[in-house]
Structures are given as C-alpha cells and as structure tokens.
C-alpha cells in the first residue's frame, strides 16, 4: 500500500504496510537514523518525533497513523544543528553516550513550542518518559531552560 506523508518538510510516498511502526519507515525506508530504537514499547523515549507538532513515540506509532500528516525528526529540527535546544545541548555538554539525546531534544522542542517558558516542574513532567542511562537529567533541564531563556547552567 502507498502511504503519503511529509517528513521534515518533504513529501514522501512509501510503499509499506500501514501497520509498520513509523520508526522503521523513518530509519529503514527514508534513511533518517537520528531517531533511535530503544525499547520498542514507548517506555524510553529514544524514538520521539513530532507528528503534527506533538511528540509521539515512533516505535509504537503505525505508519498509517502518520499518513497525510507532518512528521518532524531530529534531522529536520534544524538542518544545520543551530536550533536553540541543540546549541544549548552543545554549550552545556549535556550528552555522555548520546543515545537518548535526539528523543530528549524532540520532547523538549514540543514542550517549548507549547510552553515557551516552562518551570522546572513542567520540564521534568514533560521529559519524565525519556530515559537517560547516563543520568544527565540536571544538564538536560539546564539546557531546556537555556534554550527557553530562563536559565543558563545546572
């Protein structure tokens, strides 16, 4: 079946099963490997992308649900890596292993789009479903605050 969707501003027609997880369509069919596979059960957040501006877990989102909708991945957030969140992540040296960071940034980007000046509690609540094996949560929160213009360090 042909499924049409817009990924990072570009139209794509994919010949794929509508039940295929969006994650595999992004990675295997479109070559967008910034979206990571972590748990496959929507528990870790490594696969977070935006679907019409809302953060979703691509590992459990059927491709058919994305048909005709806008999908934004980490690659499309800022092609040159200059999104305020990406800049804050680099400046504050947030990642250690980096595996979860694309999902963390995409979740934070959805938060800031909906709430440009979140409190610490709102940041924590929004990112609670994104796991970081390295435990960089304090730096993650600081980077979100820096990008929001409400803070600058841990």
Q: What is the DSSP string of 35-85?
A: SPPS-SSSSS-TTEEEETTEEEETTSSBHHHHTTSEEE-HHHH-TTS-SHH
Can you tell me the distance from the alpha carbon of 142 to that of 123, in angstroms, rounded to the nearest whole number? Answer: 10
Q: How many CB atoms lie within 10 A of CB 3?
A: 22
46 in the same domain as 96: no
- Per-residue model confidence as pLDDT tens digits over 28-68: 999 999 999 999 999 999 999 999 999 999 999 999 999 99
Position 79 in a domain: no
In sequence order, which residues have a C-beta less than 8 Å from that of residue 120 and are 6 or more positions away? 141, 145
Percent of the chain with pLDDT over 70: 98
Contact assessment for residue 118 and residue 111, using Cβ atoms and an 8 Å cutoff: yes
The pLDDT value given to residue 27:
98
**Containing structural domain, residue 64:** 2-74
Q: How far apart are the first and last CA of the chain?
A: 49
What integer is the mean pLDDT of 97-102?
94
Domain end call among 25, 51, 74: 74
The pLDDT value given to residue 151:
76
- Residue 105 belongs to domain with CATH number: 1.10.150.120
Is pLDDT of 154 > 70? no
Q: How confident is the model at residue 79 (pLDDT cuts 50, 70, 90)?
A: confident
Number of folded domains that form the chain:
2
Q: How confident is the model at residue 153 (pLDDT cuts 50, 70, 90)?
A: low
In sequence order, which residues have a C-beta less than 8 Å from that of residue 119 and are 6 or more positions away? none
Position 153 in a domain: no
- Per-residue model confidence as pLDDT tens digits over 123-144: 999 999 999 999 999 999 999 9
Please name every residue paired with 12 in a beta bridge, in sequence order, or none if there are none.
5
Contact assessment for residue 57 and residue 95, using Cβ atoms and an 8 Å cutoff: no
Percent of the chain with pLDDT over 90: 94
The pLDDT value given to residue 39:
95
For residue 107, report the phi and psi dihedrals to the nearest 5 degrees.
-65, -45
Can you tell me the distance from the alpha carbon of 68 to that of 98, in angstroms, rounded to the nearest whole number? Answer: 31
What is the rounded average pLDDT for all residues in the chain?
95
């Amino acid at each position: 079946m042909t499924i049409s969707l817009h990924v990072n501003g570009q139209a794509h027609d994919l010949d794929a099963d509508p039940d295929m997880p969006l994650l595999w369509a992004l990675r295997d069919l479109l070559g967008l490997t910034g979206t990571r596979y972590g748990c496959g059960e929507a528990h870790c957040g490594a696969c977070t992308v935006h679907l019409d501006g809302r953060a979703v877990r691509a590992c459990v989102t059927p491709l058919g649900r994305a048909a005709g909708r806008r999908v934004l991945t980490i690659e499309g957030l800022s092609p040159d890596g200059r999104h305020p969140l990406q800049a804050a992540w680099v400046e504050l040296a947030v990642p250690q292993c980096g595996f979860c960071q694309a999902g963390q940034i995409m979740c934070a980007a959805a938060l800031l789009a909906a709430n440009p000046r979140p409190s610490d509690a709102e940041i924590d609540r929004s990112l609670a479903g994104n796991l970081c094996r390295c435990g960089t949560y304090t730096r993650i929160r600081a980077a979100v605050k820096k990008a929001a213009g409400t803070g600058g360090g841990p």
